[in-house]
Chains A and B, each alone.
Chain A
Amino acid sequence: MTLPQELEQKFSEIIGKYPPEYKKSALVPLLLYSQDALGKITPELVNEVARRVGVFPLQVEEVLTYYSMLHFPKPMGKYHVQICTNVSCQLTGGPELWELACKRLGLGHKEVSADGLISLEEVECIGACSWAPAIQINYDFHHFVTPEKLDELLDNLRQLQ
């Protein structure tokens, strides 16, 4: 499988971090950066990554299905809205944000909009407890999120399209 040049470069950079006999270490980073670059993890990618790090595809699948940020076989949307409802956010309005997002987007947990643009996930603690409630859209953190702010963020996503 041919990878986009930038991703290919990232692959070399990541694999280069580990002693050659332990290049299997690159497995999770390769998958995560591939998912970011390609938008999804496909069986072809699984085979490719397996080949790159010298393991069986099953070993990639074992790892792939373990980590919650890796979405396989179903990809998430271009904008993945992650709303934390864990305890600190729970106390400060996280569940209300979650309800609102569900309603606004017409999506449930790990559902993707028909056009593939937006997906929604109720996530576990994202490490923003002191600035709760917090959400992440892709890798961007948003702290002290109010319903109004969430509305605005979701509106922006639609416009970004």
Chain B
Amino acid sequence: MADLVKLTIDGIPVEAAPGSLLIEVARRIGKEIPAFCYYDGFSQVAACRMCLVEIEGIPKLMTACTQPVGEGMVVRTETPKLAEARKGTLEFLLTNHPLDCPVCDKGGECELQDMVFRYGASESRYVEIKHHHDEQQWSPVVYFDPARCILCYRCVRVCSEGMGVNALGVVQRGAYAEIAPNHTDHLECDECGACIDICPVGALTSDTYRYQTRPWEMNHVGTICTHCSNGCKTTLGVRNDQIIRGNNRDRSGINGEFLCVKGRYAFDFNESEERLTTPMIRKGGKLEPASWSDAVRFVAGKLKQLKEAGRQIGVVGSGRVTNEESYYLQKFARQVLGTNSIDHERSGDVVTLLDALAGRANALATVDDLYRAKAVLVIGSDLAHQHPLLHWQIRANWRHHAAHTYSVTAGPVREDQHTVAAIRAAEGAEMNALEQLRDKLSAESELAIVFGDSVKGEAVRQLVSFGDSLGIPVKYVCLVDYVNSRGAMDMGIIPELLPGYQSAAAAGLPVGLTLPQMLANEHLGALWVVNADPLRNTRLAAKEAFVIVQDLFLTATAQQADVLLPSASLYEKLGTVTNVCGEVQRLTKAAQTMGAKADLEIIGLIAKELGMASQMGPWITDKVFAEMQQVVAGYNVPLPVIATGGAAQTLPPAVKIGVETDPALIRSARDTQFTSGTLGSYSKKLDSLLESPGSLYQGENVLALATQ
């Protein structure tokens, strides 16, 4: 490593790596040099001229955002001359700014307001007519008010550099220069809203948030996005139990400030008028409202009766509930109901991967690893549409570290913009195609492999052997669908395995039914579905089976329920979830819906009604988590890490799992950013965006390759 450069900033001696930018080095020692256009992680533009500093020996004021540190450099960041310059620049900036702060969404958290407060003049000398251009709506979520825009180009950069979408540009010139969308008067893009979030002023606003509230009227609750398996942290702006905004401006969490369209806008399912708020019991073929106590009593009575009658009870869990709930559910099923017929919709072959990797340390990639690995191989997924955070990380890795990317996919993907090699291979044929990359991959110093559901069963073992044969450190990510799909596996929501990938058979449990078997079993006595919709395209073979459903909505499955119990959403719960990379994160309760209960509480109440409360233990998330830490292999993660908003990766089992699972049971729902078979379909906002691009393997931006 090169020697550190020594310099002085405002009299404070500092050491910094050669090439570091003054603005960053100053920030490190607590000197916030003002800037609008500078944004770490994106290209330099040096346009706002706010970060000017004085450097001894240089007569001109220099921009700290472009100035690398120099040996012996003496820098001053706050002087009367600089204050004067910043005041002058702000005065220029405000000349054509509408100063409509009282009605501006950004008011109260606006960087322009803050900057003027700190450096600006208290009076205006501008008496001319302001240049004005009316506000435009660019998409169902994106509005642009050119008058408020200060042309910092952050939006343009986050869209092209960050997302690879290139939907924003600058048109006209001089005082009339303006940000413009890619289709003259509207946007065709991922609708991720990154441009809105990154806007320092109120020029870009979102349909969901505009004119809704003042920022100080909200509680800002950091929790985990409920949609896909990437597990982004989202900060929900909540007022009166209503979620008004989703963003992650504090850049905490594994995703930094990244969120996709679902994370940013598809929280509105939570307030859907279709939410179930009262338990229902089927009477005379019709679901009738009931009290919680009646409903719980009814369920408990039925379950007891069926168990005593020796009837088969099937339990369907899901990737949408917390680890605690999954753990508690399987414990209840196996210990109280005495059934091992418990399953969920499996979306990735985690079991085979963990089995193949058993006993290895550092073989599972984290979200951060995808940003740091020297090379990344994507197999069988259009990440930009299916796993947007992973795509973002890999792209950032390419931008910042010149990481090599390889893709083996059925069609063009956005990674093609920067891949070293992109190979098209039909689903299931990926492993053969991979051989073409052997030489190139062997030459890498390390590799992270991300693979989708078309690689399952034997193919996963082949993939790991292939990785081993490269002779370099390889880490893997097995893609799964939902926020806690990985956690459901870890918690043993399959009949073959107990929590922590312990063989159920070895523990003496009877062979349980898998989900398709339950649905096809004509003798099933009861089906208990927790936040899943297995009957959306299938009929239950056991026509007489007693169906208990816990859900937020009246899904196809819920419509067939004998008892329907309204459950709380992930935004209304405590607990933990485990993302696609096996990283455990903790939820914070942001809101609540009157009448709905967390699934953990519902299961607990049923247990209590059955007199099994003490055996099950308290339905308090922290207590259940403590038990998980003891019982579930890999989950002995440090509580302080996750309690403070961090992510802790679970460890794979130390020994071979030794249980074969049927690869045919694994099928991803192939949801994209704009489709969702689950919660997303209850988001009006997401619905309004369905026309936007989003189908897989379209590689709609491959063209950008030519322009880089």
Chain B contact-residue range equals 10 to 19
Task: Say yes or no for B252: interface residue by CB 8 A criterion.
Answer: no
Q: In the assembly, what is the distance between CA of A56 and CA of B169, in Å?
A: 10
Partner-binding segment picked from B170-178, B526-534, B576-584, B629-637: B170-178
Q: Which residues of A contact B168 (CB under 8 A)?
A: 58
Task: Say yes or no for A69: interface residue by CB 8 A criterion.
Answer: no
Distance in Å: Cβ of A90 to nearest Cβ of chain B? 21
Residues in A72-86 with C-beta less than 8 Å from chain B: none
Distance in Å: Cβ of A135 to nearest Cβ of chain B? 24
Distance in Å: Cβ of B139 to nearest Cβ of chain A? 14
Contact present for B703 and A61 (CB under 8 Å)? no
Q: In the assembly, what is the distance between CA of A59 and CA of B707, in Å?
A: 10
Task: Say yes or no for A138: interface residue by CB 8 A criterion.
Answer: no
A61-B180, A62-B180 known; A55+B169 contact, CB < 8 A: no
Task: Say yes or no for A106: interface residue by CB 8 A criterion.
Answer: no
Q: Which residues of B contact A59 (CB under 8 A)?
A: 166, 169, 707
Q: In the assembly, what is the distance between CA of A61 and CA of B180, in Å?
A: 9
Task: Mark A37-53 against chain B: 1 for CB-CB distance below 8 A, else 0.
Answer: 00000010000000000
Task: Say yes or no for B704: interface residue by CB 8 A criterion.
Answer: yes
Q: Which residues of A contact B704 (CB under 8 A)?
A: 56
Task: Say yes or no for B676: interface residue by CB 8 A criterion.
Answer: no
Q: In the assembly, what is the distance between CA of A61 and CA of B184, in Å?
A: 9
Contact present for A62 and B169 (CB under 8 Å)? yes
Q: Which residues of B contact A61 (CB under 8 A)?
A: 169, 171, 180, 184
Distance in Å: Cβ of B184 to nearest Cβ of chain A? 8
Q: In the assembly, what is the distance between CA of A64 and CA of B183, in Å?
A: 15
A65-B171, A65-B172, A66-B173 known; A58+B166 contact, CB < 8 A: yes
Distance in Å: Cβ of B59 to nearest Cβ of chain A? 29
Distance in Å: Cβ of B666 to nearest Cβ of chain A? 38
Task: Mark B377-396 against chain A: 1 for CB-CB distance below 8 A, else 0.
Answer: 00000000000000000000
Task: Say yes or no for A57: interface residue by CB 8 A criterion.
Answer: yes
Q: In the assembly, what is the distance between CA of A18 and CA of B91, in Å?
A: 44
Task: Mark B139-172 against chain A: 1 for CB-CB distance below 8 A, else 0.
Answer: 0000000000000000000000000001111111
Contact present for A54 and B171 (CB under 8 Å)? no
Q: Which of chain B's residues has its CB closest to A24's CB?
A: B707
Q: In the assembly, what is the distance between CA of A70 and CA of B74, in Å?
A: 47
Contact present for B170 and A62 (CB under 8 Å)? yes
Q: In the assembly, what is the distance between CA of A145 and CA of B671, in Å?
A: 69
Contact present for B172 and A56 (CB under 8 Å)? no
Task: Say yes or no for B706: interface residue by CB 8 A criterion.
Answer: yes
Distance in Å: Cβ of A100 to nearest Cβ of chain B? 28
Q: Which of chain A's residues has its CB closest to B178's CB?
A: A65
Q: Which of chain A's residues has its CB closest to B182's CB?
A: A58
Contact present for B703 and A58 (CB under 8 Å)? no
Q: In the assembly, what is the distance between CA of A57 and CA of B181, in Å?
A: 11
Contact present for B173 and A55 (CB under 8 Å)? no
Contact present for A56 and B171 (CB under 8 Å)? no
Distance in Å: Cβ of A97 to nearest Cβ of chain B? 25
Q: Which of chain A's residues has its CB closest to B172's CB?
A: A65
Q: In the assembly, what is the distance between CA of A128 and CA of B248, in Å?
A: 57
Q: Which of chain A's residues has its CB closest to B704's CB?
A: A56
Task: Mark B178-199 against chain A: 1 for CB-CB distance below 8 A, else 0.
Answer: 0011111000000000000000
Task: Mark B668-706 against chain A: 1 for CB-CB distance below 8 A, else 0.
Answer: 000000000000000000000000000000000001101
Distance in Å: Cβ of B410 to nearest Cβ of chain A? 24
Q: In the assembly, what is the distance between CA of A18 and CA of B169, in Å?
A: 24
Q: Which of chain B's residues has its CB closest to A50's CB?
A: B703
Q: Which residues of A contact B167 (CB under 8 A)?
A: 58
Distance in Å: Cβ of B160 to nearest Cβ of chain A? 10
Residues in A10-27 with C-beta less than 8 Å from chain B: 24
Closest A-B pairs by Cβ, 3 of them? A54-B706, A58-B182, A65-B171
Q: What are 7 residue pairs bridging A and B, where the CB atoms are less than 8 Å apart in the complex?
A: A24-B707, A55-B707, A56-B703, A56-B707, A58-B169, A64-B171, A65-B173
Query: Known pairs A58-B169, A61-B184, A65-B171. 5 more at Cβ < 8 A?
Result: A54-B703, A55-B703, A59-B166, A62-B170, A66-B171
